[in-house]
Amino acid sequence: MTAVPTIGVLALQGDVREHARALEAAGVRALKVRRPDELEQVDGLVLPGGESTTMWRLARSFELLDPLRKRIEAGMPAYGSCAGMIMLADRIRGGVAGQETVGGIDMTVRRNAFGRQVDSFEAAVPLTGMGDTPYHAVFIRAPWVESVGDDVEVLGRAEGGPNAGRIVAVRQGRLMATAFHPELTGDFRVHHYFADLVRRTTEED
């Protein structure tokens, strides 16, 4: 019988509890990760929404930034939502001076691309590999992806309005990211998709 994987949630800020609940609904164990030794205990990691500059600074303060990079380079699956998407991007536009990321996905992400907090919105987004029904996505000070490398699969784009066609969900190998917050809905398809990715990875390794 295949062991149940443990997926961490980077617990520096953001919707940690909501992501943990969604992961458990997807049939995996969830563990809050604040220290390098906790990072070593997980089979995959969720980088939640929040504020990307604060997350970067806290990761530095907690001595997590370099361990995160090493685990991802070694093949650990990771999923980033909103600020987590920025953290997994190789390149940022609109960031603060000196802002760093964990990296791993060959993409350029624009920070706060959809506007400020007052510009938050909800929209239906079709997602590749997650059923025929569009996902009811919640965007809060959300980024978007301006460009991707050849190895990045676009999983979802914004539809309708002035931002139609903007990339809002991607995957590159064992890494994936969304500009929206799936943990704030009762629809856990994104977490199920990531949990399945982690399960396949643990079987392969």
pLDDT digits (tens, 9 = 90+) for 123-158: 899 999 999 999 999 888 889 999 999 999 999 998
Pairwise CA distance, residues 187 & 6, whole Å: 21
Pairwise CA distance, residues 19 & 167, whole Å: 22
Residue 152 near residue 107 (C-beta atoms within 8 A): yes
User: For residue 163, what is the DSSP state?
Assistant: T
Pairwise CA distance, residues 35 & 51, whole Å: 19
Question: What's the pLDDT band for 50 if we cut at 50, 70, 90?
Answer: confident
Dihedral sign (CA 189, 88, 15, 111): negative
On the question of pLDDT at 62 being above 90, the answer is yes
pTM here?
Answer: 0.94
Q: What is the pLDDT, as a whole number, of residue 1?
A: 41
pLDDT digits (tens, 9 = 90+) for 176-199: 999 999 999 889 999 999 999 999
Mean pLDDT of the chain: 92
Q: Which residue has the tokens 């799936």?
A: 182
Q: Which tokens in the block code for residue 157?
A: 């784009």
Active site (catalytic) residues: 82, 181, 183
pLDDT digits (tens, 9 = 90+) for 89-125: 999 998 888 899 999 999 999 987 776 654 577 889 9
Identity of the amino acid at 182: P
Pairwise CA distance, residues 11 & 61, whole Å: 13
The CA-atom distances, in angstroms, between 146 and each of 63, 104, 138, 179, 202 are: 30, 16, 19, 12, 32
Residue 171 burial (10 A CB sphere; 0-12, 13-18, 19+): buried
Identity of the amino acid at 113: A
Which ranges constitute the DSSP H helices of the chain?
16-25, 36-39, 52-61, 65-73, 83-88, 189-204
Q: Which residue has the tokens 């009762």?
A: 186
